[in-house]
Amino acid sequence: MRVRPILILGIDVISENPKKFAVVSWFNGRLERKGEFTLYRLIRFIQSKRPDIIALDSVTELGDDLRKFLRALPSGTKLVQVTGRPGEQRSLQSLAKEHGIRTFDRFDPYEEAKLSALLASKGVGYEVLAFEDEVIIKVTRGRSHGKGGWSQDRYRKRVHNLVRDKVREIEEGLRRADIPFDLETEERDYGLARGEFRVYAAREELAGLIRPMRGGDVEVRIQPVERAELGFAPLRGEEAIRERRSIIVGIDPGITVGIAVIDLSGNIVALHSERNMPVGEVFRFISEIGHPLVVATDVSPAPGFVEKIARSFKANLFVPRESLRVQDKNELLRDLGVSVDDDHQRDALAAAYKAYLRLKPKLEHVDARLREAGLSKKADEVKALVIQGYNLGEAMQRVALRERSRAEEKPEEARRQGPDVEQYLRRIHELERRIGFLERENAELREIIKEQRKTIGRLERRIADYDEEVRRKVLRERELEAKVKRIEALEKQLHEAKAVIERLSRDLVQVKRMNVVEIRGSAVPLKVMNVLSWRELERLEREIGVKRGDVLFVVNPAGAGRAIAEELVEKGIRALITEKPLPESVRVVLREAHVPFFTGDELDVKRVDEFAVVERETLEKAIDELLARWEEEDKEEEAERLLRLVEEYRIERMKELRRRAEGESKHR
C-alpha cells in the first residue's frame, strides 16, 4: 500500500514587534529552511501549501492571534503543540534527546522550528482543538424578493420551495450517512424561509456530502462550532499514555448519554448520565478523568456517536459480536456488585466491562511478566502500550528507556530550579536583541528631536513677527462677525414685516370686494367664519369688523353654545347663515331674539375662498318670510296662552263655587 506524502511545517517566533516567524518544512524526511514570515504571509503560505501539520513548541507564542490563526487553517491541517498539554509540557531539547534527535543552538529560532517539525513527524505532541465536533448548516434564500406585484409573490413562493427542497436533500444525505443532527425550520408560503441544522460531526466528515452554496436563489453556509476553551488531543496514543491515567470508557448514546469509566485493573472510576449532552461535553468529561485506550459500546454495529468519540481520542473501538441483551447486562452488574442510577449508566458500564473482560487475559499475562522483570510499578503504562499495538518486549523496552531519560534529566532540571528554564533563556536572548534594536532607535530619535527643536525655535520667531498682524486680523474678523449677525437680525425682521404686509394686503382686497358688492346693491356680502367660536369672532372683528346689521356666514357651527349666540344677538347682526345645521341651543337663543338663521343651500350662497355673497332679493325675501312665520307662530302661541289662562280661571271658579255650595249645605 502506497503511503501518502506528508508535509509538516515547524515554526518558531523570531520577534514580537513586529511579530515574525522562522519556518522550516519537513517533507518525507527532507528538511528545508523556508525563511522569515510575518503572520499575514505565514497564513497565506499555509493556505497555499495546505500542510498536514503546523508544529510549534507552545501556542502561547501566537498570543492574541491564536484564534485568528486557527480559523485561517485549511481543512485537514492540524496545529500541534509538540511539548505536551498545558501544565504538562517538557522542553524541546529533552524530547529531542528522548527520540534520538541531535540538537544545536537552542536560541536559534530555525533550530527550534526544525525540532518541532521532526518531533511532530514522529507523532510527538498534542493537536490543538479549536472547534467542537459539531457543525451549523444554515439554508436560506440567496437574494431579496423585491417589492410588490404578482411576479414578486410568485418568485418568493418559488424560492421558499427551493429552500424546502434543499433542506430535505441535506436531511436525507445526513440520514443516509448515519450522522446525528437536530433541525429547526421556519415555514413560509407552504415552503421554508430557512432551515438550520446542528450536525454532530466534524467538518471533515461532511466533505463531499454537503457543499456550501453562495450567490444563487438558495444559500448554504457551513460553520464549525468553536470551543469555549481550547482542547488538546494526543497525535498518537503513546504520548498520552506516559502522562495521564489510562482508562476504558463505555458510552451509551441517545437523548440521555450514559458514560462509564474503568481502569486497566477493572475498577470503576466514574459513572455519569446527562440529558442532551453534546459531543464536546462528552469529550471534556472523559479528558478530565484520563486518556481512553478503548471506547466501547453495547450494540453492534457501533453508533456513529461512539465512533466519533473513539476517533477523537485515537482510541481502539470495542464492538461486541452481537448486541448485549438486557439479561446479560444485569448479570454483569450483579457480578460487579454495583448499583446504577438509570439504564443509560447500566448500558455504558456493561459495554466498558465487556471490553475489559475481552482484554483481561492479555493484561494478566502482562502483569505476570512485569513481576518477573521487576517493573510492576509501570504496569499500567506497559499495559497501555500493549493495547495500543506494541508487543510486550517493545513496550517494556520503551518504558525502561523513558525512565532512564527522565533520570538523566532530573539533575539538570534541579540545577535550573524550574520546570523549563530554556524558554526563559530564549526569551532573555530575544530581549537582548530587542534592547540593541531599541538603543539604536533611541539614538536616531534623539537626533530627530534636536532637528525638531531647531525647527520649533525658528517657527516661534516667525510667530512673534506675525503676532501683531494676526491680532489685527482677529479684530477685523470679530467686527465682521458682529455685522453679519446684525444683518441676519434685520433680514429676519424684514421677513416678518413682509409676512404682515402680505396678510394685510389680502384682508384689504377682501374688504374692497365686499364694499364693491355693497355699493352695487345687487348682492349682500357675507362675513365668513370657519367655526362659531370666540377666537374666530375676535379674528373677524380684528380683520374686517362686525357691525350692527351684518350677515354672518359660518362654515361649521358645531360645538357652539348659548353664550356665543347671545353675543351675536347683542352685536345686532341681521341674520346668520351656516353651511351645516346649527346646534339646538344656538337656535333657541336666535329664535327668541328674532334673529333669522338659514343654511347656505336654502339661500344659494356663492363662496370663493374666504369671500361669500348672497342675492339681496333672495335674502330679503327669506328674512321677511321667516319673520312673518315667526310672528304668526308667536300670535298663535299668545292666543293659546290666553285660552289656557281662561280655561284655568274657569276651572278654578267652578272649584270655588262648589266649595261654597258644600259649605252652605253644612250650615243648614
- Both 219 and 270 in one domain: the answer is no
* Residue 469 within a domain: no
Q: Which domain CATH number covers 142?
A: 3.30.70
Quote the pLDDT of residue 382.
Answer: 77
Q: Last residue of some domain: 90, 124, 158?
A: 124
Nearest to 84 by CA among 107, 56, 53, 113: 56
> Percent helix, strand, coil in the chain (nearest 5)?
55, 20, 25
Instruction: Please state, for a pLDDT cut of 70, what percent of the chain lies above it.
Output: 87
* Residue 528 within a domain: yes
* Residue 533 within a domain: yes
- Both 65 and 192 in one domain: the answer is no
Q: How many domains does the chain have?
A: 4
User: Which range has highest mean pLDDT (399-403, 430-434, 658-662)?
Assistant: 658-662
pLDDT mean over 526-530: 87
Q: Which domain CATH number covers 21?
A: 3.30.420
Nearest 5°: the CA angle 537, 540, 546 is 90
Task: Count, in order, helices (H) and strands (E) of the chain.
Answer: 18, 20
- Both 109 and 167 in one domain: the answer is no
List, for residues 280-323, the tens digit of each pLDDT value: 778 878 887 888 889 999 998 888 788 878 877 778 888 888 88
- Cell digits of residue 440: 539604536
Quote the pLDDT of residue 652.
Answer: 86
* Residue 496 within a domain: no
Burial class (CB in 10 A: 0-12, 13-18, 19+), 215: exposed
Cα 206 from Cα 76, distance rounded (Å): 12
Which residue type sits at 629? R
Cα 73 from Cα 43, distance rounded (Å): 8
Region of residue 294 (phi > 0: left; psi between -120 and 50: alpha; otherwise: beta): beta
- Cell digits of residue 48: 497555499
Quote the pLDDT of residue 375.
Answer: 63
Q: Last residue of some domain: 98, 124, 150?
A: 124
pLDDT mean over 8-12: 92
Res. 377: pLDDT tops 70: no
- pTM, two decimals, is 0.41
* Residue 530 within a domain: yes
List, for residues 185-208, the tens digit of each pLDDT value: 888 877 888 899 988 777 777 777
Nearest to 54 by CA among 4, 2, 421, 62: 62
- Both 116 and 149 in one domain: the answer is no
- Both 29 and 150 in one domain: the answer is no
List, for residues 102-144, the tens digit of each pLDDT value: 877 777 889 899 999 999 888 888 888 888 778 889 999 876 6
Quote the pLDDT of residue 426.
Answer: 59
Q: Last residue of some domain: 75, 103, 124?
A: 124
pLDDT mean over 13-22: 86
Provide the residue range defining the domain that includes 10: 1-124
List, for residues 320-373, the tens digit of each pLDDT value: 888 888 888 888 888 787 888 888 999 999 999 988 888 888 888 877 777 776
Confidence of residue 79 (pLDDT cuts 50, 70, 90): very high
- Both 191 and 340 in one domain: the answer is no
- Both 557 and 615 in one domain: the answer is yes
Res. 23: pLDDT tops 90: yes
Res. 149: pLDDT tops 50: no
| Residues counted in the chain | 668
- Both 138 and 120 in one domain: the answer is no
* Residue 290 within a domain: yes
Confidence of residue 610 (pLDDT cuts 50, 70, 90): low
Phi and psi, residue 667, nearest 5°: -65, -35
* Residue 183 within a domain: yes
Confidence of residue 42 (pLDDT cuts 50, 70, 90): very high
Please tell me which residue, 186 or 610, carries the higher pLDDT value: 186
List, for residues 260-272, the tens digit of each pLDDT value: 999 888 888 888 9
- Both 309 and 404 in one domain: the answer is yes
List, for residues 542-583, the tens digit of each pLDDT value: 888 888 888 999 988 888 888 988 988 898 898 999 988 889
* Residue 428 within a domain: no
Res. 425: pLDDT tops 70: no
Measured CA distances, 238 to 244, 246, 313, 382 (Å): 10, 11, 11, 10
Residues paired with 408 in a beta bridge: none
Quote the pLDDT of residue 25.
Answer: 92
- Cell digits of residue 617: 332679493
pLDDT mean over 91-97: 85
- Both 79 and 139 in one domain: the answer is no
Confidence of residue 415 (pLDDT cuts 50, 70, 90): very low
- Both 194 and 58 in one domain: the answer is no
Cα 22 from Cα 591, distance rounded (Å): 109
Res. 378: pLDDT tops 70: no
Quote the pLDDT of residue 89.
Answer: 83
- Both 412 and 317 in one domain: the answer is yes
List, for residues 621-668, the tens digit of each pLDDT value: 888 888 888 888 888 888 888 888 888 888 888 888 888 888 777 766
Please tell me which residue, 78 or 607, carries the higher pLDDT value: 78
User: Which secondary structure element, helix H or strand E, spans residue 555, and what is its range?
Assistant: strand 551-556
Mean pLDDT, the chain, as a whole number?
A: 81
